[in-house]
Amino acid sequence: MTVLIILFRPLHNLETIEGTNIHLECRLQPVGDPSMRVEWFVNGKPVKTGHRFRPAYDFDYVALDLLSVYPEDSGVYTCQARNQLGEAVTSCSVKIIGM
């Protein structure tokens, strides 16, 4: 049975210095919905996952780790979850200060 997605913990704005790691995290319900799709965006474009950008999705836990950030990684990060009944979206502003 598919259930409408509920956002329990939204993302929060943050500011940090160049070279640090960032952990963005939110919580979603329902747990174990096979039709749910979770995507990350930065400034409206899909996040390119790889060495420095690592998404995680486990039950209600959704996260994105950014390793060794640069000022050009600054922007609005959005987590979007969709299923057959709708979507839940949360965003935050990330500001990286160069050294």
Percent of the chain with pLDDT over 70: 94
Q: Is residue 10 part of a domain?
A: yes
Mention every residue, 6+ apart, whose C-beta is less than 8 A from residue 17. 96, 97, 99
Which residues are bridge partners to 27 per DSSP?
9, 61
Q: Which domain holds residue 37?
A: 6-97
Asked if the bond preceding 10 is cis, omega within 30° of 0, the reply is: no
Q: Domain total for the chain? A: 1
pLDDT at 1: 55
Is residue 83 scored above 90 in pLDDT? no
- Per-residue pLDDT band at 85 (split at 50, 70, 90): confident
Which residues are bridge partners to 23 per DSSP?
65
Q: Is residue 56 part of a domain?
A: yes
pLDDT digits (tens, 9 = 90+) for 35-75: 788 999 999 999 998 889 999 988 778 999 999 999 999 99
Q: Which residue has the tokens 């990350």?
A: 40
Q: Is residue 21 part of a domain?
A: yes
Q: Is residue 85 part of a domain?
A: yes
Cβ 30 vs Cβ 51: under 8 Å: no
CATH of the domain at 29: 2.60.40.10
CA-wise closest residue to 63 among 3, 1, 4, 9: 9
Q: Is residue 1 part of a domain?
A: no
